[in-house]
A and B are shown apart, each in its own frame.
Chain A
Amino acid sequence: MAAGEASSVSGAGTTVAGGDPHEIGAFYMREMPRLVLFVKTLSGSLDRHAAADVAQTAFERALPRWTGLSQPKAWLYKVARNEAIARCAAMRREPAADLLPERVDEVSGALAAEWRAEQRAVIDLLQGLPPKQREVMTWTMAGFSDAEIAAALGLSTDAVKQNRHYARQKLRKRLGPRKEESR
């Protein structure tokens, strides 16, 4: 087998050579911030620390089986999504008195400082969508195809398109006036 031939695997437009530490390291550097953003947008309630922990956990789980994954990026994001859902559920089950004191969320601060207002508003609005629409839009923004989103969420591709259509309708409606006001 030629170097990088059949051992190279792809997902959502990203190609990673299976098992090569340099390739995995490069993939991590490129994908980790996007995965943290994905987890944060999807969950809404997880702060940067928790979102980064979820993303790192997903990478650690993917690593032992990296060479066997035909779609490593899709697999990574599905694991991160399931882990985020589990942590959110665990947070809801915790009695209020046992919750950790609110931590300073550096990312939220950094995002607030560096993101342009309109772009920050986009993510805020995305987090305000109904769960299924938010999921479909977040997966779409992370670069996945309709078929990949359908497989990850257990939906038909028609349902993916329909949810995205409704999500866009809502986003357009809510973004329109804001844009006008900001001019």
Chain B
Amino acid sequence: MITRNRGTGGHDDRELDALLAGAWEDGAAVLATVLDLKAGRTALLAALPKPTAGGDRAGGMLAEVLIQVDAMAAALTAHSAPDQGPVHSHVAVFLLASRQFLIQLRTGLTGRNLSKESAAHFLAGLANALDEADRTIAALPAGVVSASELAEVREVLTGTRGQLPELAGRIARPFDDAGRVAVGVPAPVR
């Protein structure tokens, strides 16, 4: 994190990091004196669930998958509106399709009725839709669209694609642990 990059204002990264870390720790220390932490801790621990064999771990695994799916879907949604520029217009249909596959995954996971085949189908569909979006922007004539908009869309595609292996691994775990259908994964507690 620390480099010797020096800005026009006179701070380099080392000084800036020290300043930021100091401000952060001081802020947290001040908050610790103002917040009623003991009362908060008591309220939290009063709600501590009794341990169950394996159930908590499965629920946590599902929660992590859903958080990741939600974050990916949110990123795609933010860039799916075609009125954000010509590049967005060209790829909106593929981003919406990608998002749809994520939503189908989510629905199957929370409903505990996602088969291994369906999970693979949705993940493949998601990857294909991202590929199509990639091919579409690669085919756009040079100089017609703004470089910054192009970079923004590429960033979303790259970010989403980069998360696919981790997502696929997380989704595969319940199948590996509990058989072909994710019936053993409890629904999340809201």
Q: Are B59 and A64 in contact (CB under 8 A)?
A: yes
Q: How far is the CB of B61 from chain A (nearest CB, A)?
A: 6
Using a CB-CB cutoff of 8 Å, which residues 87-121 of chain B contact chain A? Answer: none
Which residues of the other chain, B, contact A28 by a CB distance below 8 angstroms? 37, 40-41, 44
The segment out of B45-53, B130-138, B139-147 that lies at the interface is: B45-53
Known contacts A32-B37, A151-B166; is-contact A64 B56 (Cβ 8 Å): yes
A156, B60: Cβ atoms under 8 Å?
Answer: no
Q: Are A168 and B5 in contact (CB under 8 A)?
A: yes
With known contacts A24-B45, A154-B160, A175-B19, A116–B64 Cβ distance under 8 A: no
Contacts of B47 in A (CB 8 A): 60, 63
B8: Cβ under 8 A from any A Cβ: yes
Shortest distance between the CB of A168 and any CB in chain B (Å): 6
Interface of chain A residues 14 through 37 with chain B (CB within 8 A): 18-19, 21, 24-25, 28-29, 32-34, 36-37
Residues of A within 8 A of B8 (CB): 172-173, 176
CB contact under 8 A between A176 and B30, given known A56-B44, A155-B155: no
Inter-chain contacts of B41 with A (CB < 8 A): 25, 28-29, 32
Q: Tell me which residues across on chain B come within 8 A of A64, comparing CB atoms.
A: 49, 56, 59, 189
**Contact call B45/A175, Cβ cutoff below 8 A:** no
Question: Chain B nearest CB: distance from A140 CB in Å?
Answer: 7
B4-46, CB < 8 A from A: 5-13, 16, 19-24, 26-35, 37, 40-41, 43-45
Instruction: For chain A, give the interface size range.
Output: 35 or more
Question: Which residue of the partner chain, among B1, B31, B158, B162, contacts A33 with CB atoms under 8 Å?
Answer: B31
Provide the residues of chain B in CB contact with A33, threshold 8 Å: 28-29, 31-32, 35, 37
Q: Contacts A33-B35, A48-B34, A123-B23; is A154 near B11 (CB within 8 Å)?
A: no
Q: Are A171 and B16 in contact (CB under 8 A)?
A: yes
Once the chains bind, are B163 and A151 in contact (CB under 8 Å)? yes
A-B residue pairs, 10 tightest by C-beta:
A176-B9, A68-B60, A172-B7, A154-B75, A119-B23, A68-B57, A33-B31, A176-B10, A65-B60, A67-B56
Report 27 cross-chain contacts, Cβ distance below 8 Å, ordered by A residue: A19-B48, A33-B28, A33-B32, A33-B35, A36-B31, A37-B24, A63-B44, A63-B48, A65-B188, A67-B57, A68-B61, A69-B64, A106-B34, A107-B30, A111-B31, A126-B20, A156-B158, A156-B162, A159-B155, A168-B16, A171-B16, A172-B11, A172-B16, A175-B11, A176-B7, A176-B9, A179-B10
Q: Supply 6 further A-B pairs (C-beta < 8 A) apart from A29-B41, A168-B13.
A: A28-B41, A67-B60, A75-B67, A122-B19, A154-B159, A179-B9
What residues make up the interface of A, taking CB atoms closer than 8 Å to B? Answer: 18-19, 21, 24-25, 28-29, 32-34, 36-37, 48, 52, 56, 59-61, 63-71, 75, 78-79, 82, 106-107, 110-111, 114-116, 118-120, 122-123, 126, 137, 140-142, 150-159, 168-169, 171-177, 179-180
